[in-house]
Structure 1
Amino acid sequence: MAKYLPTAALAVVAVLSLLSAVEFAMAEDSLCKMTEKGMVACLPSVTGASPTPPSDKCCAALSKADLPCLCKYKDSPVLSQVGVKPELARQLLARCKLGLPGECN
């Protein structure tokens, strides 16, 4: 059991670091005009072994977001640290029938 403690501790530190970064970036309750609720709605579509199709809430949030701004984060190492698969995130725009900004290529 003790051998799992460092992994668990590392995971907790990673999550706390991400939350701090997100809180800082979302000082006005949004990041690139994408609300926290919108991000949470999209999370099941960009994480895990069996991502789900994007919900209407996810697509609605993305349609209001500043997509070129969001695309600046496409290569951020934080994405993989929290389980977000960048290729799924890029596919999400097409799945929501939204155009892919040049910054996302």
Structure 2
Amino acid sequence: MVAVIFNETLGTQTICNVLLSCLIACKPVATPPNPPPPTANCCSALSQADMGCLCSYKNSNILPSLEIDPNLAMQIPTKFNLPQSASC
């Protein structure tokens, strides 16, 4: 997907305007069977995200391949009262 960008100069990878290393803070919250409550680090990462872009991953095979439940992942923004994409 176009949303994943590798910046060779900085050696950083972003997904939907968020550093991949920051999004990792949200993975436990979207991993079954007993996800913990979201952390402040997760909230901070998502507050910078392009939610429409993140929503585009909902029906992809990428999340399940990373052991992430797409339905749990899509619930995270509401736990922080963050706006979601209308199409999500």
Q: Unaligned 5+ residue runs, structure 2?
A: 8-12
The answer on 1:41 being equivalent to 2:25 is yes
What TM-score, normalized by structure 1, do the two folds share? Answer: 0.71
Amino acid in the other structure paired with 1:79: L
Query: How many equivalent pairs are there?
Result: 81
Do the aligned residues in 2 keep the contact of 1:72 with 1:103 (CA within 8 Å)? no
Which structure dedicates a bigger proportion of its chain to strand?
A: 2
Which structure dedicates a bigger proportion of its chain to helix?
A: 1
The answer on 1:57 being equivalent to 2:36 is no
Do the aligned residues in 2 keep the contact of 1:68 with 1:101 (CA within 8 Å)? yes
What TM-score, normalized by structure 2, do the two folds share? Answer: 0.83
Alignment partner, residue 27 of structure 1: 6
Matches of 2:38 and 2:21, distance apart in 1: 14
> For 2:74, which of 76, 90, 103 is the aligned residue?
90
How do 1:70-85 and structure 2 match up within 5 A?
70-85=54-69
Q: Unaligned 5+ residue runs, structure 1?
A: 1-20
Query: After TM superposition, where is structure 1 displaced by more than 3 Å over at least 4 residues in a row?
Result: none
Larger of the two Rg values belongs to structure: 1
